[in-house]
Structure 1
Amino acid sequence: MINLGIEMVLDTVWDEDFASPSSEKHRKLSSDIATAMASVFRNESRFVGVVVTRIRKGSTIADLQLLHNGGENFDDVATSMLRQASRNGLQVGGARVLGLEQKEEESPVTSGGFDNRWLGFLGVFPVVILIVIAIAIQRQRKRERKQRAQREAMKKTWPFVRNLNSLRTV
């Protein structure tokens, strides 16, 4: 299931209860939004539903996710259908929709409750680990070269050191 983030601006007076998902007003407005979106997409077979992720102040703004089965150009088709519905006076529970805008951010809503943002982290994590390992190996090799160079310099400066080492075996 794929998500399309939408920001919906409503011509309604802000009520603090809208911000609380447990409030009756929030649930009612969310239900009205879902009903309005279902009517807009009633002839679109790829449309699955809508999830209201947040209702916030700034007039009254609802952030929602259109859930769909994908397919070619769904985002473009959905954006076009929403613009047309808005021009035709789309209403949500008696309030006129003043604006609908597609959001570019990644959606936390997915089927099965898995958060897509983790996929980016999981993809980057192994790369970071490999870089850290490569740096550690490089530093170890540099240390070994430095120690080898110091031993060689010591042998050239003190040739008798080699002879002392051979005497110790007795």
Structure 2
Amino acid sequence: MQEPRWLDEREMAAWLGFLEASNRLMRLVEHQLKVDSGLSHAQYEILVRLSGAPDGALRMTELADLMVTSKSGLTYQVAQLEKAGLVERRSCPTDDRGILAVVTDDGRRKLESAAPGHVALVRDCLIDLLTPEQRDTIAVALGSVNDTLRLRARS
């Protein structure tokens, strides 16, 4: 068996910094969305993804892939949004087995009211703390990691 490649001090600092910052940011985002709009972060992301999709609709499997979540986890969140009248589920017209999640007009209004506070928090706790160069570096680096992990997940 091959010996593990342990992280050196700089690698460990990068890993722990990423973990702590991302965990703190996600907790703040979750709290802000719950208090300001009654949405979970996952529900907010569903509304964002659907609102940006053609006709405000995505197949549930595509939505789960975009959100990097399980189908059952997505189904639960969509059911909660459906109960609130923010999303509807419909049969896919091109595939009898497919189900579409569709944002409603109330869902669009909810997103419009939740977005300003969410964006303000993201700016305050991440974007405005970084220089433009740091933002570019993070975007490129995490984009590369994301692309690689997405490919691994499909193979």
The two structures share one fold, judged by TM-score above 0.5? no
Structure that is richer in strand per residue? 1
Taking structure 2 as the reference length, the TM-score comes to 0.24
Structure scoring higher RCO (CA < 8 A, sep ≥ 6) equals 1
Q: Hey, which of these two has a bigger chunk of helix by percent?
A: 2
Normalising by structure 1, what TM-score?
0.23
